[in-house]
Structure 1
Amino acid sequence: MKRKLVAVLLLAAMSVTSLAGCGSDGGSGNDAESSRGGSEADDAGDADDAGDADDAGDAADGESSAEAAEVDADGKVNGIMYAEGLPIVDEGAYTFSIFCDDSSSTGEFYMLNEFEKQTNVKVDLQIFANENATEKMNLALNSGDYADVIGGWILDDSKILTYGVEQGVFIPLEDIFAQYCPRIMEILDLPGVREKMTAPDGHIYTIPYVCGDTSVGYSPFINGRWLENVNMEMPTTTEEFEAVLTAFKEQDANGNGDATDEIPFSADPNNKHLEAMTGYFGLPMDKTGFGLKDEQVVYAAMSSEYRQCLSWLSGMYAKGLIDQEIFTQDSATWEGKGNKDMYGVSIAYGSSEFSGIPQSPEKSEFDVMPVLNTDKGGIWLRDTPGNSVYRTQAVITDKAEHPEIIARWFDNAFELENGIGCNRGPVGVVTFKEEGTDQYRAIDVNTLDAETQEKVGWSNLWPQSLPKFLPIGYKFLEDNPNYDEKKAVETTYEPNLTKEVIPSSWIDQDDVEMYSEYASAIRDYFSQNQARFISGEQDVNDDAVWEEYKAGFEGLGLDEYLRIKGVETIAE
């Protein structure tokens, strides 16, 4: 009955607000948002489900996730897995499948091949672009035809609660970790990690992904060469920003002789973060509609500040200052246009993601665009306190014949030199142990031949949506390090960041079923209407339309959703 009720409420809200037309942002539908972990983290995960888990660190009642197993005369568990050391199994003895979202220019991942050599475990990788991976995952889960491991930015707390706690499709892993995974146990024992990883029923359902992280994930980057070409200064207010975009549109900003091929402003299709610009109007917020007002968590999707931001963005969209495909293009299109020098400004994790300009020791032509309107209270939401625990990055399903082998395979991936390989480049190719020390020196990948560069390029090292590990704060020795653009972002933004981050905690187990329904409907409604307001399909400046939009949240059960999340205030 609960499921039917929410479905009816969703249909009612859709009829009130006329939800046909523009689609959602093409993103992940994921709390952690297509962020990348470690120093590359988009990342950067969005705030997740508020409300403390009861007795999170305690063992749960019920069956253990790992049955006691004897080691035979060959040193094998269950006749297949060596209890200690490498390889984990005999050659050809075990294959498991991984479904995840990610991208690679070659479709090959260097470290996956290395791990097969080390472990004799073969991986059947089923990889999809983020734009359609969520739909494919949902279809697989609903049909019962899913992989041994599901991972990536497409998972979120709701999925863990539904398919783990409620249905048992995702299996508990803490006992397997305790028996076979010493490195994972060390990670779980880091401060705060076990508590955050432990679901409300006391089980741990996921492989931990713990990394140092940036305080600012996604932000706008502006082309300094274009600014010079149109004789404009770095904008500091929303009015100046709009004036710069207008100059980009009307003049030959990219200098190619064609004054009509410039696109002033765009954003990563999977991580647009347009609502983040509400911080320019005094209320920093995240992609799920929550914000911080006076450092207190509020629901900001109906606030006057958000409406003001939408009105500003809608006006610029109508003038052609915003990419007209911003709500419909995929990542390849966004990157393709950026590689053709068509973007003056784009929101991204890093400018190289869309510009086609590789990272190098020198700063590229793209600059960090500062927080706007700081003289009027403009502020940006702090993404992390400097490190992140991604608790929804990889699960083992009940399809896995030998989950203990899979857990040990990940445990081996977290060994130091393997972690170095996944994060920076394979030892002996890109990274080298400094003689007589425990440190590793990283060389400039650009000094390698073209074929090797492609093989060990960052996106081809490891599916970057899957867990990897380096000790927090790990530093490489470098002779000629790349320009640290993320450090420049942090330095620029720090004076105008919120002091706090939106907290991330599990919800109460009693609310699991209804929360999953509410969260999906409300978040979809928020993102879909954002696209319609900005594109002009709905007039954000029409009071009647705005009131209908607000009423739609009530029809979807917003009050109950906020009660479950422990948020008391709806910003007006």
Structure 2
Amino acid sequence: MKKRIVALLLTAAMCAGLLAGCGKSSDTAATGGDAPEEGSVQSAQTDDSGKVNGVLYKEGLPLVDEGTYSFSIFCDDSSDTGEFYMLNEFKKQTNVDVDLRIFPYETATERLNLDLNSGDYADVIGGWTLSDSMILTYGVNQGVFIPLEDYFAEYCPKITEILDLPGVREEMTAPDGHIYAIPYVCDDTMVGYSPYINTKWLENVGMDMPTTTEEFEAVLKAFKEQDANGNGDPNDEIPFSTDPNNKHIEAMAGWFGLPMDKYGVGIKDSEVVYAGASSTYRELLSWLNGMYKQGLIDLEIFTQDSATWEGKGNRDLYGVSIAYESNEFSGHVRGTERDEYDILPVLNTDNGGRWLRDTNGFSVYRTQAVVTDNAKNPEVICRWFDNAFELENGIGCNRGPVGTLVFKEDDGYHAIDNKTLPEDEQEKLSWGNLWPQSLPKYMPSGFKYIEDNPLYDEKKALEAAYEPYLTKEIVPSFWIPLDKIDRYSDIATAIKDYFNQQQAMFVSGELNINDDAQWKSYVDGLYALGLEDWLEVRGVDKIAD
């Protein structure tokens, strides 16, 4: 999945620790004989034909008569064509027309802000551009995002079933008691982004898999100084790079004993701490700066876009890169066996090296799709998503359409490789063209396909390799208190931008990481921006030395 980690992930630890189910907010119920608000669920009328408000069939398919209803979706996603197989299937099933307004992640945030400011926003806003702060600002405070829990209860049995999973309803419910987003609940990996190393390059330079940071640096030097990719040019190798939109280089602080996330929050001695001003983080930056000076790190690491990063990887110019999966930059088609890229192990494990656990294998994403006050008949939209979450539709969005790539048999669902299809069908049914992967989808936890020739599961191999060295704890999710929404939003944006900017300047040498005065100036800048207030809202009590 592209650009998976742009918003905060909610995890199994949170789900397991919470009890299932919570009643609807009293704010949403008609009380004391007051007349239902026009357009509310309570005011809906069902006619003799079974249509709600003259538009939606309350039960069964299609949802509406052909040509009578459409809605728009804004989302960020990666697609060459903007065409998605399952959207066309859902049109056939529901008679609902969807106007998909899709933008690359790099430009989607700016475009969404423009839309929201102008009032010309879509009926549904989805994707990784959304955040808790936006839910609270545009939902709780401004009413641009509308509450959905009553629509779910009245029209959406599948979504209700999902909300009733342990802890899910609580995680989805904002501080004012309303649910503003379509739930996106799924099995998840314990490790998101990690480094992948080219084992063919290792073989070409005659070196073994590194296990310490010293050995890793030596490997990168060999990649730089020799014709590691074997193309006859000893000067085109780029030893190390990372996904431009999910760099996660601060995660490597775990090799020095303090695993941390991209916001600077980490785990030390089983305690959640702020690590972005710590001596450990400084040690990491100093090490990276030394390698940058030697030309071991991509000179464009802080300036390139995704297309440039992928283009270099496709030309076999990278020895190591951080990514969600190696084929995101290598251009290699996944097969039944591991290809030349392998998992770089957690380094310095004999000396306290660890990696931050992202989830306990299960996540709730609460900011993937909202319905706006521009939408007419929101009940249709909610039922449209509810239909998308039915099992075989979920299979279609996640793996491929039933009857084409997946086949129902007595012992379960058998999946085939899309490479067995005619060539003109292969791209159309590739994973990225099935469904906008930044939008909610659903599969029951633990659902497995039966495959004759299963593809190599790189993420499963990663989890097996990293599990002994993962933190037991995860960085918990949180809701911003209603009275601190505006203040927190300003602080969070400023601190995130400052953290990333200063990181780039220290690594590249524009600032001297080894100069105590410049480091102190950086730390003072964090406090000046409101670090302590930011941490208080997040529930982080300790700043690591």
Q: In the alignment, is the contact (CA less than 8 A) between 1:33 and 1:271 conserved in 2?
A: no
Alignment counterpart, residue 341 of structure 2, candidates 356, 366, 370: 366
Amino acid at match of 2:338: K
CA distance in 2, matches of 1:244, 1:46: 36
2:420 aligned with 1:451, yes or no?
no
Q: Which residue number in structure 1 is paired with residue 157 of structure 2?
A: 182
Q: In the alignment, is the contact (CA less than 8 A) between 1:44 and 1:213 conserved in 2?
A: no
Offset of 1:360 from its aligned partner? 1.0
Q: Which residue number in structure 2 is paired with residue 13 of structure 1?
A: none
Q: Which residue number in structure 1 is paired with residue 391 of structure 2?
A: 416
CA distance in 1, matches of 2:487, 2:330: 43
Offset of 1:94 from its aligned partner? 1.2
Q: Which residue number in structure 1 is paired with residue 373 of structure 2?
A: 398
Residues 114-129 of structure 1: matches in 2 within 5 Å? 114-129=89-104
2:517 aligned with 1:552, yes or no?
no
Q: Which residue number in structure 2 is paired with residue 221 of structure 1?
A: 196
Offset of 1:386 from its aligned partner? 0.7
Alignment counterpart, residue 171 of structure 1, candidates 123, 146, 161: 146
Amino acid at match of 1:455: K
Amino acid at match of 1:452: E
Amino acid at match of 1:59: K
Q: Which residue number in structure 2 is paired with residue 532 of structure 1?
A: 505
TM normalised by structure 1 equals: 0.90
2:327 aligned with 1:352, yes or no?
yes
Residues 32-431 of structure 1: matches in 2 within 5 Å? 34-35=3-4, 45=9, 57-63=22-28, 66-431=41-406
Q: Which residue number in structure 2 is paired with residue 507 of structure 1?
A: 480
Amino acid at match of 1:301: G
Aligned pair in 2 of structure 1 residues 56, 556: CA closer, same or farther (>3 Å)? Answer: farther
**What are the superposed Cα offsets for residues 268-288 of structure 1, whole Å, 9 maximum, x if unpaired?**
111111010010110000011
Q: Which residue number in structure 2 is paired with residue 23 of structure 1?
A: none
CA distance in 2, matches of 1:390, 1:33: 15
Q: Secondary structure at the match of 2:304?
A: coil
Amino acid at match of 2:298: D
Where structure 2 has 5 or more consecutive residues not aligned to the other structure, the ranges are 30-39
2:451 aligned with 1:478, yes or no?
yes
CA distance in 1, matches of 2:523, 2:540: 17
Q: In the alignment, is the contact (CA less than 8 A) between 1:235 and 1:241 conserved in 2?
A: yes
CA distance in 2, matches of 1:537, 1:56: 52
Alignment counterpart, residue 514 of structure 2, candidates 541, 563, 571: 541
Deviates more, 1:329-338 or 1:190-199: 329-338
TM normalised by structure 2 equals: 0.94
CA distance in 1, matches of 2:2, 2:331: 23
**What are the superposed Cα offsets for residues 9-57 of structure 1, whole Å, 9 maximum, x if unpaired?**
xxxxxxxxxxxxxxxxxxxxxxx99317xxxxx9993889x9x99x994
Q: Secondary structure at the match of 1:455?
A: coil
CA distance in 2, matches of 1:260, 1:57: 61
Higher relative contact order (CA 8 A, sep 6+): 1
**What are the superposed Cα offsets for residues 104-147 of structure 1, whole Å, 9 maximum, x if unpaired?**
13321100111111111111111111112111111211222211
Count of aligned pairs between the two proteins: 531
Q: Secondary structure at the match of 2:160?
A: helix
Offset of 1:506 from its aligned partner? 1.6
Aligned pair in 2 of structure 1 residues 547, 58: CA closer, same or farther (>3 Å)? Answer: farther
CA distance in 2, matches of 1:140, 1:547: 40
Q: Secondary structure at the match of 2:427?
A: helix
Where structure 1 has 5 or more consecutive residues not aligned to the other structure, the ranges are 1-31, 37-41
Q: In the alignment, is the contact (CA less than 8 A) between 1:180 and 1:408 conserved in 2?
A: yes
Alignment counterpart, residue 568 of structure 1, candidates 534, 541, 544: 541
Offset of 1:68 from its aligned partner? 3.0
Q: Which residue number in structure 1 is paired with residue 491 of structure 2?
A: 518
Amino acid at match of 1:188: L
Identity of aligned residues (%): 67
Q: In the alignment, is the contact (CA less than 8 A) between 2:236 and 2:317 conserved in 1?
A: yes
CA distance in 1, matches of 2:232, 2:9: 41
**What are the superposed Cα offsets for residues 294-335 of structure 1, whole Å, 9 maximum, x if unpaired?**
111111110000111111111111221111111111111111
